[in-house]
């Protein structure tokens, strides 16, 4: 793959105060893209915030002062208790980054299990809505909500219908929330990553290799070569897009979906 150099040089001094004093909540904040968002927001000067995730994923390395709160977005009771703790911990909330989500195994529509379909929607769509509800009582009037959607939010993907449909639902939620919350000065946007080599994505490729598919390294290289830049986007690049939408740099932007990585060109 061409141009495959590491792109984790950090934000630099110019961005270190973009979010000075802002208080953020990140769902799915203990791993993958969510963990990257936590690190980038903290590096941009955000005050210590809260990372929410499944209990089994907690215990990672958070920036100084950040708090972990366990949550299972499938459960209304767990979600309500978690956001009550978030509001008690932070008081006013300036930023919600909703990064929690699940991706199922490839399955044709004819073989889809309805319970799995419901589970995908319970986390990917309903979980985002419940997260918005959880922060609204404490969300500042100039706050920002950023949702991790997907490039599957505007296109189809064979054998991944439940995930694609859930991300289409998320985009509709973002656009509706932008109109509803706009009078309070609250901006609502989504980021649409393409394939990113998170641990979860690599694990899915490994399962496909184990079932007779391409080796993981070959699949990653092939995915990268399909993009305009000739490589996959990184977790940090996705997190920097969230930073842009959380900061005053995007003060006039709401109701939009920002692609990062392949597609969108």
Compute mean pLDDT per 10 residues along the chain, 265 residues long, and list them. 42 79 97 95 97 94 95 97 98 98 89 95 98 98 96 84 95 98 98 78 68 75 76 89 97 96 57
Question: Which among 155, 165, 87, 79 is positioned nearest to 124, based on CA atoms?
Answer: 165
Over residues 36-70, the pLDDT tens digits come to 999 999 999 999 999 999 999 999 889 999 999 99
Which domains does the chain possess?
Answer: 18-196+233-260 (3.40.50.720)
Q: What is the pLDDT of residue 61?
A: 86
pLDDT of residue 20: 96
Give the bridge partners for 24, in sequence order: 95
What is the C-alpha to C-alpha distance for residues 92 and 68, in angstroms, rounded to an integer?
17
From the number of C-beta atoms within 10 Å of its C-beta (0-12, 13-18, 19+), residue 183 rates as: exposed
Roughly what angle, to the nearest 10 degrees, separates helices 199-210 and 216-225? 120
Q: What is the pTM of this model?
A: 0.89
Q: With contact defined as beta carbons under 8 Å apart, do 33 and 197 qualify?
A: no
Query: What is residue 263's predicted lDDT score, i.e. its pLDDT?
Result: 55
3-state secondary structure of 258: strand
Token pair recorded at residue 4: 């495959």
- Tell me what pLDDT residue 14 has: 62
Instruction: Yes or no: say if 175 and 255 are a contact pair by the CB < 8 Å rule.
Output: yes
pLDDT of 52: 98
């Amino acid at each position: 793959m061409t141009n495959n150099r590491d792109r984790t040089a950090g934000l630099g001094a110019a961005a270190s105060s973009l979010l000075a004093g802002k208080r953020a909540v990140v769902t799915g904040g203990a791993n993958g893209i969510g963990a990257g968002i936590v690190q980038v927001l903290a590096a941009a000067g955000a005050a210590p915030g809260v990372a929410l995730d499944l209990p089994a994923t907690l215990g990672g390395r958070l920036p100084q002062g950040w708090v972990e709160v366990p949550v299972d977005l499938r459960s209304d009771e767990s979600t309500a208790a978690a956001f009550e703790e978030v509001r008690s911990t932070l008081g006013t909330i300036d930023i919600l980054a909703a990064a929690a989500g699940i991706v199922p195994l490839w399955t044709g529509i004819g073989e889809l299990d309805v319970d799995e379909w419901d589970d995908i929607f319970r986390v990917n769509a309903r979980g985002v809505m419940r997260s918005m509800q959880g922060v609204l009582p404490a969300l500042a009037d100039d706050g920002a909500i950023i949702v991790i959607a997907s490039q599957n939010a505007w296109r189809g993907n064979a054998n991944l219908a439940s995930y694609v449909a859930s991300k289409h639902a998320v985009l509709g939620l973002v656009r509706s929330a932008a109109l509803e919350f706009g009078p309070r000065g609250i901006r609502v946007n989504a980021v649409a990553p393409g394939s990113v080599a998170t641990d979860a994505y690599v694990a899915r490729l490994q399962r496909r290799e184990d079932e007779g598919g391409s080796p993981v390294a070959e699949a990653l290289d092939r995915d990268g070569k399909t993009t305009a830049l000739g490589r996959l986007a990184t977790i940090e690049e996705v997190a920097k897009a969230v930073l842009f939408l959380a900061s005053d740099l995007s003060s006039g932007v709401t109701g939009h979906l920002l692609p990062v990585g392949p597609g969108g060109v």
